[in-house]
Structure formats: C-alpha cells, structure tokens
A = this chain, B = another copy of it.
Amino acid sequence: MSDRSDLLMLRDKLRAFAEARDWDQFHSPKNLSMALMVEVAELMEHFQWLTEAQTGNLDAGKKAVVAEELADILLYLVRLADKLDVDLKQAALHKLGKNAVKYPAEQVRGSAKKYSEY
C-alpha cells in the first residue's frame, strides 16, 4: 500500500491533485523547476538577514512558517520527479553512495572544502 513510502504516497496525491484541476498541462519539467526555485527562495528570504546562529534557533511562529515553505519545496520536488519519471528514493540512495566515495570521512573531517579541491 502507498503508505509504505512517503514519497510515493505524496506522488500519488499530487497526481490526483493536478488531474482534478487539469493542471498537468502546466507541469512541464521546465516550469516545475522554476516553481521549485521560487519556493526555495521563499524559504531563503526568511534567513537572509539572520545570522547562522539565529537560523538555528527560530521561534515557534517562524518555525511554522518555515515548515510550510519546506513542504512547498518537497511537493514541487516530488511532482517534478514524477513528471521526469525519476524514482526519488532510489536516486537519493544512489547519490548517498557516490557521496560516501567522493568525501571519505577520514579525509574531509571538519572541512567544508569542495570535493574538487581535494
């Protein structure tokens, strides 16, 4: 059943949502990538004038607003992956495996230097 996987469950709900509204016609990957970007910017707007420490210590009201922005990002991401026929979970696990090779723990510990600089 769909509740085995959060991501598939959300994918299915978003499919039904778009279908009920005949919005599939607007959901080209190009357009969805723009919508995704706009949502990330709305999140970032909350952080732009805060210090790093402040962003790690939001009050409850701000946190609720930020949670909604995170939701928007996830929803567009899931929808975009669906339209591209990409299995997000498999893609994420595959990438985690690549990252583990690219950034060996003993070599990069405590450093945020980009991979290419090693």
Complex partner residue of A83 from B51, B53, B56, B94, CB under 8 angstroms: B56
Is A110 in contact with B52, judged by CB distance below 8 angstroms? no
Is B49 in contact with A109, judged by CB distance below 8 angstroms? no
**Size bracket, chain A contacts:** 35 or more
Is A71 in contact with B48, judged by CB distance below 8 angstroms? no
Is B55 in contact with A52, judged by CB distance below 8 angstroms? no
Is A95 in contact with B68, judged by CB distance below 8 angstroms? yes
Across-interface contacts of A14 in B (CB, < 8 A): 96
Is B25 in contact with A110, judged by CB distance below 8 angstroms? yes
Q: A22-B110, A30-B47 are in contact. Are A91 and B105 (CB under 8 A)?
A: no
Across-interface contacts of A40 in B (CB, < 8 A): 33, 36-37, 40-41
Is B34 in contact with A92, judged by CB distance below 8 angstroms? no
Using CB atoms and an 8 Å cutoff, list the residues of chain A in contact with chain B: 4-7, 10, 13-14, 17, 20-23, 25-26, 28-31, 33-38, 40-45, 47-53, 55-56, 58, 63, 66-68, 70-75, 77-78, 80-81, 83-86, 88-89, 91-96, 98-100, 103, 105, 108-110, 112
